Every structure is written in C-alpha cells, then in structure tokens.
C-alpha cells in the first residue's frame, strides 16, 4: 500500500483506491480535478504533451499508462472521500511540512490548511519569526 494512502481511502470508490495505490493521493486528486465524473481514455504510449502527462507529471502518467494503456476508465468524482483522505493526510504531515508547503502541495491556501488542522494548530516551523 502506498505511504500517501490514508485510512479514509477505504471509502474511495474501488477504481480511485486502485489509482491512489498506483500513483499516490496527490496525483489521484489532480486526476479527479482534471477529469472526475468522465470516461477517461488512457493512451497506449507516453507523450509528454498529452494532458495526462501535464496533469500527473511524468512518473505518475507513465505508471498509469503502464497499468491501463488503451483502456477507458470511468473516473468518479469521489468528492467526499477524497476530501476526507486529503485532510487526513494533511493532518498526518503537519510536522513534516509548513503550512505554506502543504498549501502548495495540495493546491490549497494557507487559511484552508489552518482550517483543516484546527484552530489550536500552529505552524511550528514558522515560530520565532517575530
């Protein structure tokens, strides 16, 4: 099981769970944001100009193509489960990344990260600036 996969992922639709194990939760979130709720065609070979390569990056796109080349994937949105899995991963990584790093990593704002972490959570890596 992928280290980026959180406990809440068990609530993901099976295809999203499989994709998350293959390419990780951040890449799966990017894929769902890009094409969730549609039928996605996975190309037979890697092309750096293909939308999948641009959305997922080289490594994740190659992994997805190797596993599903030439297939159509009915890609669900899985919004509630994905948000819960993302939020749990953000909480698990709270001592690894600053709020700004988390915001960039997940495509959120600092305020959203603070909200997910809760009002008592401080960015310890930023302490002592003033």
pLDDT in tens, 38-47: 999 999 999 9
- Tell me: do 29 and 62 sit in the same domain: yes
- Tell me: do 71 and 96 sit in the same domain: no
pLDDT band at 9 (very low <50, low <70, confident <90, very high): low
- Tell me: do 12 and 71 sit in the same domain: yes
Segment 95-113 shows an average pLDDT of 94
Domain span at 66: 7-78
Beta strands 38-41 and 72-75: pairing type? antiparallel
> Residue 80: what pLDDT?
81
Number of structural domains (the chain) is 2
Q: Has residue 37 got a pLDDT over 80?
A: yes
Whether residue 111 is contained in a domain is answered as: yes
> Residue 1: what pLDDT?
27
Q: What is the DSSP string of 9-77?
A: GGGS-HHHHHHHHHH-HHHHHHHHHHHTTEEEEPPSS--TTSHHHHHH-HHHHHHHHHHHTT-EEEE--
- Tell me: do 17 and 52 sit in the same domain: yes
Residue among 78, 69, 77 nearest 41 (CA):
69
- Tell me: do 99 and 47 sit in the same domain: no
- Tell me: do 71 and 93 sit in the same domain: no
> Residue 122: what pLDDT?
57
- Tell me: do 73 and 84 sit in the same domain: no
> Residue 81: what pLDDT?
78
Average pLDDT, rounded, for the chain = 85
Whether residue 12 is contained in a domain is answered as: yes
- Tell me: do 101 and 117 sit in the same domain: yes
> Residue 124: what pLDDT?
56
pLDDT in tens, 48-100: 999 999 999 999 999 999 999 999 999 998 878 778 878 988 999 999 999 99
- Tell me: do 116 and 65 sit in the same domain: no
- Tell me: do 85 and 25 sit in the same domain: no
Whether residue 130 is contained in a domain is answered as: no
């Amino acid at each position: 099981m992928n280290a980026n996969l959180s406990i809440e992922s068990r609530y993901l639709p099976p295809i999203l769970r499989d994709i998350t194990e293959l390419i990780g939760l951040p890449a799966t979130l990017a894929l769902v944001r890009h094409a969730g709720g549609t039928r996605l065609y996975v190309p037979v070979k890697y092309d750096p100009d293909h939308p999948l390569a641009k959305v997922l990056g080289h490594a994740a796109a190659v992994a997805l193509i190797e596993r599903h080349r030439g297939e159509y994937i009915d890609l669900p949105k899985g919004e509630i489960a994905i948000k819960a899995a993302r939020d749990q991963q953000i909480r698990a990584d709270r001592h690894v990344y600053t709020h700004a790093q988390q915001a960039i990593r997940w495509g959120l704002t600092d305020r959203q990260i603070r909200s997910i972490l809760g009002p008592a959570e401080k960015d310890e890596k930023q302490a002592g600036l003033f």
